[in-house]
Structure 1
Amino acid sequence: MESRVAPKVTVLMPVHNGEAYLRQAVQSILDQTFTDFEFLILDDGSTDGSRDIVRSFGDPRIRLEANERNLGTVHALNRGIRLARGKYIARMDCDDVSLPERLERQVRFMDAHPEVGVSGSGMRLIKKGRLKNTRLQPQADPELKITLLFNTCFFHPTVIMRTAVVKKTPYPDNLVFTQDYNFWTRLATETCFANLRETLVYFREHSAQISSRKADMQKNNARAIRASYLHALFPETSGEDMETHHLIAENRRGMDLGKAGAWLEHLIGLNEQRRVFPPDIFLREAARKWWHCCRKNTQYGKETLAVYRSSFLHAYFNPPTFKYLKFHVRCMTDGKRRKAD
């Protein structure tokens, strides 16, 4: 019989043919230091041994719900939101690993910050079975919503969300394979965001992931989401400006740095007029983008250095010294190589 006492957290994990890494993912949740949770696993029409693996644990905190056919991740997530009984919903993917204190730390933060509807954390990459680099997102609400102008602001498998917020605004079912980016832009006007700087999840990268198999569709859908969000905040954006903005967001090599810098400077001016975001924070985040644009395009040699320094943006973001020195050296060497060619 199902307990009448609602758990504090619903851990929500969709699964579709995930047997390769599923056992480790499930065990990482069962090993949490925070124990007041239900583990809601939505099997989305798996044809491998995923359901048998889940059943083999025999842990009463696990709730296995199954679709007889594959309906897609968004359907599974929204079904999970409808079924969730916890005050919070913590996302989990079937190929990742949550560190033992993940839920404890995230619940403590959400309890202490009732204004925050969604928060996430840093994550560390697992590639070919080995731990690689750590990835972080900005921490505070304004920075996160500025980040959405360019890309997603959360690592999806790290988030914890207030159930009341997401029951009211569930995942949108259009633009598949970018459902998280789409979701955050919808929630941006509904609640506050935050990220913990701690690394609480190990994220596994492998060839079977949707991000590997559907890269072109993801890029096109991300462009549609980005354009919609940008136009809602700055409706005067032109088609040419939007294309430049996409190239900046995608951190493309070969972009026109002059156009990129001019657009970022113009965007700063628009924000100062509209006061969509705090001007000082927006200026710093635009300057960060400018640094990444130039760092990616050292193939122009000394010209890259000159263009970088010609914009007032370079004075508002200071990259780590060793990264700047590396950037400088690459501009010199790439420029010489270009001349030789």
Structure 2
Amino acid sequence: MKNPQVTILMPVHNGERYLTEAIDSILKQSFTDFEFLIIDDGSTDGSTTIVKSYEDPRIRLIANPENHGTVHVLNQGISEAKGTYIARMDADDISLPTRLEKQVHFMDNHPEIGISGTAMRLIKNGKLKNTRTLPETDEELKIQLLFSTCFFHPTVIMRSDLAKAHPYPENLIYTQDYNYWTSLADKTAFANIPETLLYFREHAGQLSSRKADLQVTNARRIREGYLRRLTEDISLEELEIHHRIAENQKDIDLRKAEKWLKRLVEINLVTGIFGSGTFQKEMARKWWLTCRKSTPSGRTVLEQYRSSSLRPYYQPEMIKYLKFMLRSIMAGTHHIPTGHSTKQE
């Protein structure tokens, strides 16, 4: 019997609340040549019972008697996978019906791409909210890694041979996806499909809610390590500004942020690691996002955004720019002067 084209890898740990919806969304896929590898990682609720209630032969359940953690289970799944591709899935999300069909088609037609993801839409309190997107091209995504993850982890599909040769690093837990993409950045090409093919559920039980402080700490370590591939010439102040930009903090000194982003452009011109046009555009996009977060500072932030030499290299959507302008104006004159944080640095 031939192996399936895709292994859908879904770890589960005490996920009974949303598990049925997640499983059903995979079994209803328009693409059908897959095995659905579900690894129950020592659940103490009814998760295993729910999985066993399905009679679909494509489901393959592995039940770990003890909880080993997400990274262990992901690598266990990679080792067990029989498919040409491995598609990720979480036990609380929903894959849209054509997700696998479109992702397999994309990978089949782009043999140079080792990993790709998609856009996703947020589910919060049972309601569909905003759509989230990330850059699409290989170079944009590897520039994105200077700041944060370049894929939405549950949307990812990857080539099995790549994953088997390079499993998830087992250090820096709770940031395993960011850690993984930085480790693979020099080994394969990346891409994102701009279409929304998954609904991502946000709730209090997620690790991102329960382990937020550790995630921030580990992400900073990963970010600094990747940034130092571009340059070792970073002061502690510059590194802190870089982290604040990456974390979308609201109390950033915009003058320092602009200076650092412009210096990154200059560094890349010297090193030539990334194409200068793409890099300049991505730093301009970070400048826009940083200013957009700072609208409580009032008109000052609008003036700083407009006057920056970075501005011409990235044009935000008009509706978003108009909202940014309106919020800045409406913030009034009673604002925290830009460049003077109310928090301890």
TM-score, normalised to structure 2's length? Answer: 0.95
Which of 40, 49, 55 is 1:43 aligned to? 40
Which of 197, 200, 205 is 1:200 aligned to? 197
- Alpha-carbon shift at residue 294 of structure 1 (Å): 1.0
**Cα distance between partner residues in 1 of 2:325 and 2:198:** 34
- Alpha-carbon shift at residue 33 of structure 1 (Å): 1.0
Written as runs of structure 1 = structure 2, the 5 A alignment for 1:1-341 is: 4-338=1-335
Task: Provide Cα deviations, 1:226-278, integer angstroms capped at 9, x if missing partner.
Answer: 00100122222222211110011011111100000000000000001111111
**Cα distance between partner residues in 2 of 1:228 and 1:153:** 16
**Cα distance between partner residues in 1 of 2:329 and 2:21:** 47
- Alpha-carbon shift at residue 321 of structure 1 (Å): 2.1
1:293 aligned partner, one-letter code: T
Give unpaired runs (5+ residues) of structure 2.
337-345
- Alpha-carbon shift at residue 320 of structure 1 (Å): 2.0
* Aligned CA-pair RMSD: 1.1
Task: Provide Cα deviations, 1:184-203, integer angstroms capped at 9, x if missing partner.
Answer: 00011100000111111111
**Helix, strand or coil at the partner of 1:270:** helix
**Cα distance between partner residues in 1 of 2:53 and 2:323:** 51
Task: Provide Cα deviations, 1:30-71, integer angstroms capped at 9, x if missing partner.
Answer: 111111111110110000110110010011111111111100
1:54 aligned partner, one-letter code: V
1:325 aligned partner, one-letter code: L
**Helix, strand or coil at the partner of 1:93:** coil
2:288 aligned partner, one-letter code: W
**Helix, strand or coil at the partner of 1:328:** helix
1:15 aligned partner, one-letter code: V
1:124 aligned partner, one-letter code: R
- Alpha-carbon shift at residue 307 of structure 1 (Å): 1.9
**Cα distance between partner residues in 2 of 1:238 and 1:338:** 29
**Cα distance between partner residues in 2 of 1:30 and 1:324:** 41
**Cα distance between partner residues in 2 of 1:279 and 1:215:** 34
Aligned-residue sequence identity (percent) comes to 60
Give unpaired runs (5+ residues) of structure 1.
none
2:151 aligned partner, one-letter code: F
**Number of residue pairs aligned between Structure 1 and Structure 2:** 336
- Alpha-carbon shift at residue 161 of structure 1 (Å): 0.3
2:22 aligned partner, one-letter code: A
Greater CA deviation, 297-306 or 138-147? 297-306
